[in-house]
Amino acid sequence: MYPPVTTAEQISVGNLERYVEENYSEKSQKLYLAVLKSIRVYGGGYLTPSEIDGKYIAGFRTHLSDRLSPGSISQYLRSLRSLLNSYLGPEYRPAIKEAFAGVGSKNESDTRHITPADFRKLKDTTALSTYPALEKARRIFILSTLLGGIDIEELPAALSAIETNGRSTLRTGVSISVPSQALSVIRHFKEEFGVSISQCLSTLADDSYPKCLDAIGATLSLRHPLLPKSSADVWVALARTDGVPATVIASAVNNSDVAILRYSEADESISADDIQEVYYAVADTIESSTNHWYGARCFTTAPTEIKEHMLLAKAKLGIEPGDVYIPFSGDSAVTEGCDKVMQPMLFFRATATRARDIKRHLGSHAYVYSYRTGEKSPAIISDTEMMTFMLLARVGADTIKLYFPKAGDNPPGLEINDTVIITDGNFSGHVGIIEKAGSDSFRVIVRITGISAVVTAEVPKKFLRGVGDNA
């Protein structure tokens, strides 16, 4: 033990380091020495007890915020408080308590650290669809999580490698095959926004991504702040949920700034295959806890009855009214003795596990469309495809009621490239150009100048009339 010091004395950081090495276990030393290393950078090689007050601690917290997550900062401050209490003795504890007044106990829940529950809320939300910048940041954060919490600055290089061979090299040098869930995020990002994630990152200002994440946290009312480094914390938490040992997590996590690395070191004996399995397991956990759309074809029972049947089993299936969508409700597609446009369908939104339960629950009443290989699990419909289908089903309902083509209809004498006016249906009144002819309809290009849009639509021949020389 080193003797207590007076308030006039300075404490050498070197003495504190030797004190730690002599009085703490080898496992605990790593964290305390990391704290002292930061103190050395922040305030030089010495500490003056009389100067350790709230202002000093606030400054140290700000110093740490440049490279540590809120959870790690809290650990550093608690460790520094514990070390000073032990080194200085009971005489200084009142002053230390006052200086560290804003630092909680290790037994308190860290309200500043994002949890898997927060991540699930962020992952499943559709509330950001009207805010492109926030939606892009959300997708990038999810990708960062799937890639082991990779730092945003290292993501462009990782994306370049992924585009080349579908693999990513971790901070430890281990190369892994990127989970399909991450590839899906990359692909859908480009499909929906027209630019790749790499292109998006190249145009971001240094502070844009953190600001977007902060806005996402506020918009979704997350219980914990959302920071760029939160993706690494979430990945570690999900790996722990899957029962992965701490040494394996420390070897696999793709970010050096996570609390687990202060307690567990990477183990070189852990194989690349083991690390690969962790990435697959975490990605599967993310996937299985994500709500997706699934489709079911109804046979002897009407979709509305099946929906009621599902809601009656809400406790078992976890289905809410808003999780079920029935297109063309009220059987509008089969009115007036017309042929069915499509078989009776029902769509529902659930996790992969719930979807399997629903498939078993429905039995012979409906067929849940499933993959043809493997376990033949329910087939996921992407949110983009489902939203597009729902939009078209809504705006197209009037056309479906109005007209069902018949082989005996006499089409107008029109040809490809003719200019036509649409006389009925959703695009009634618009002028278009015929692009392609079918047996009972023309594919027509329609320019809607009011919203600067170009729409290609299949229009029944009887809804078209020639314009000018084609009249």
User: Helix, strand, coil: what percent of the chain each, to 5?
Assistant: 55, 15, 35
CA distance 233 to 215: 19
In tens digits, what is the pLDDT along the chain, a chain of 471 residues? Answer: 444 444 446 788 888 999 988 888 877 788 889 889 888 888 878 888 878 888 888 888 888 877 776 667 878 888 898 898 888 888 888 888 888 876 755 444 443 467 888 888 888 787 787 888 999 999 999 999 999 999 988 999 999 999 999 999 998 899 999 998 899 899 889 988 899 999 999 887 777 898 899 899 888 888 888 888 899 989 998 888 888 888 888 889 988 877 677 666 667 788 999 999 999 989 888 877 677 888 888 877 788 888 888 888 776 676 777 778 887 554 444 333 333 445 678 888 887 778 888 888 888 888 888 877 656 778 888 777 777 777 766 655 444 333 333 444 444 567 777 777 777 665 666 777 777 666 555 555 555 444 444 556 667 776 777 776 555
Range list of β-strands (E), 32-156: 46-47
- For the CA atoms of 222, 225, 230, 235, the dihedral, rounded to the nearest 10 degrees, stands at -30
Contact 141, 134 (CB under 8 A): no
CA distance 330 to 337: 14
Query: Tokens at residue 348, please?
Result: 């529902």
